[in-house]
Amino acid sequence: MEKEKDYQFKLVEGQYSPLEAKKILLALINSKINFHQLENFSNEIRFSESTAHSKSRVELLTIAAKNITDLIAYSIPNDMEFKIEGTIQISLVPAKKLESIA
């Protein structure tokens, strides 16, 4: 693989029943929620401080999960399916240097 700066990968693509869509979408969201909760917990243990970014992301992802659950509930009695296209974009950027604490 060439080391270009930008990459795109299709993470999810297709048409799914409401229950399939629920499994796929909530698994992705719950994975991200768990990541941010662990990140926040780790920072609290190591540095005695929480991460505002992780807390904010957990809140936003929780709202997204609720919205998806509402869409699922709406789609079932209305005989609808989910067309999902999820592309992840990755860019390689220079790393941030941490300042040393002296």
The answer to whether residues 61 and 32 touch, using CB atoms and an 8 Å cutoff, is yes
| pLDDT tens-digit series, residues 34-89 | 999 998 888 777 777 777 888 899 999 999 999 999 999 999 999 999 999 999 99
- Cα–Cα dist 32/92, whole Å: 21
The mean per-residue pLDDT over the stretch 19-25 comes to 98
pLDDT of residue 40: 85
**Interhelix angle 18-47/52-75, nearest 10 degrees:** 170
Sole residue written with tokens 């409401």:
18
Q: Is the dihedral of CA 52, 88, 21, 30 positive or negative?
A: negative
